[in-house]
Amino acid sequence: MDFELSPEQRAFQQTAREFALGELAPHAAEWDAQGIFPVETIRRAGDLGFCGLYAAEDVGGLGLPRLDATIVFEEMAAVDPSTTAYITIHNMATWMLTQWGQPAVRDAYGPDLTSGRKLASYCLTEPGAGSDAASLKTSATRDDDSPGGPAYVLNGTKAFISGAGSTDVLVVMARTGAGGAGGISALVVPADSPGITYGRKEDKMGWNSQPTRQINFDNVRVPVGNLLGQEGDGFKIAMRGLDGGRINIATCSVGAAQGALDAATRYMNERRQFQQRLADFQALQFKLADMQIELVSARHMVRLAASKLDAKAADASIYCAMAKRHATDVGFAVCNDALQLHGGYGYIREYPIERLVRDTRVHQILEGTNEIMRMIVARYLLSGKAGDTLR
């Protein structure tokens, strides 16, 4: 059991850190304040391979393990969790397309997505189907007599879609069969297809560098060749994606927490009260130590879960759920504690702490709420299947 990063992983880490400091740090506050979606910066991330980290190599992806991807995402999230979180979503949608797409679809979209020339959104959540994804109602009815050739006719609404209205490709989960998980399929849909309309950009507490909108599908025709996998595979693809998505969002929490901890450490060494540095107060030293301990525990749990996912372990989903719950709770708590250590300065936008707090709060909700993560773990324990797998 080796906890040290390899030279190759250290190289990816350094490259990601330099990109974050050079491309994200100078602009993150402006993007947040003005609601700017930094498309050109994301494309520059694509130049480094960061838009196709674990996508297939034959369409331009790096084909990295999930563990290596966490190292890259963590470094970027330490500076800008919002933009990094979108990049993780783009990576997930790109991976789905390159993993399950038919050759023509992979060739048409894969290289543009892995390079960042085109961007993708992932469309699972609906106004009435959040954590209960199997109950989604968006329908895709096959029409073999469609004028342009056999197609699915897509109708329905998706909600809380990151990048919606500003991306080029949508990976959409829709119902092609009966109710329940087995009736769901996955489709690749050009974002400018006739019949697609986008709602207003949501005003959010955080994640302001990525637009979030509702998407409405009104008789949108999608070629049958744009099906990912087979009919009825959609829910399985979504669950595979969610395992990775939980690792990704947990990593963004770890990164944000590291950024907040670094800022708090600097501030405690600089700020003086009662004729001494904040760093000289034992109570604050203990707070900083607890933040560090919790952060390291979260980081290693995330990396363990990523390793399980890479190994295709039978219990990988349980570890992804545990890592997501733990890391997102720890990430928010560390950012919030860092704000407290900054006092009033932490509450103003001159310092990055308040943005990190706002950006990490949603991590406890998306990719399955942390209450759902607890349900997954508890059910596994109570089923009697756990045995020694969690020891």
pLDDT at 147: 84
From first to last of the 391 residues of the chain, give the pLDDT tens digit. Answer: 678 999 999 999 999 999 999 999 999 999 999 999 999 999 999 999 999 999 999 999 999 999 999 999 999 999 999 999 999 999 999 999 999 999 999 999 999 999 999 999 999 999 988 778 888 999 999 998 888 889 999 999 999 999 999 999 999 999 998 888 899 999 999 999 999 999 999 999 999 999 999 999 999 999 999 999 999 999 999 999 999 999 999 999 999 999 999 999 999 999 888 989 999 999 999 999 999 999 999 999 999 999 999 999 999 999 999 999 999 999 999 999 999 999 999 999 999 999 999 999 999 999 999 999 999 999 999 998 877 778 8
Least Cα distance to 252 among 105, 89, 130 occurs for 89
> In which residue ranges of the chain is CATH 1.20.140.10 found?
235-382
What class has domain 7-118? mainly alpha
The SS3 of residue 295 is helix
CATH classification of 235-382, choosing from 3.10.580.10, 3.50.50.60, 1.20.140.10, 3.40.50.300?
Answer: 1.20.140.10
pLDDT at 199: 97
Q: Which long-range contacts (C-beta less than 8 Å, at least 24 apart) are formed by 16-20?
A: 16/48, 16/50, 16/71, 16/72, 16/73, 16/74, 16/75, 16/76, 17/75, 19/44, 19/45, 19/48, 19/50, 19/75, 19/76, 20/75, 20/76, 20/78, 20/79, 20/80
Instruction: Please tell me which residue in 75, 126, 367, 371 is annotated as part of the active site.
Output: 367
Topology given in CATH for the domain delimited by 121-232: Butyryl-CoA Dehydrogenase, subunit A; domain 2 (2.40.110)
> In which residue ranges of the chain is CATH 2.40.110.10 found?
121-232
367 a catalytic residue? yes
Q: Six-digit token pair at 368?
A: 């399955």
Q: How many CA atoms lie within 13 Å of 155's alpha carbon, on the beta-carbon side? A: 5
> In which residue ranges of the chain is CATH 1.10.540.10 found?
7-118
9, 10, 12, 18 alpha-carbon torsion, rounded to 10°: 160
- Contact yes or no for 243/95 (Cβ under 8 A): no
How many other CB atoms are found less than 10 A from the CB of residue 37?
Answer: 22
DSSP 180: S
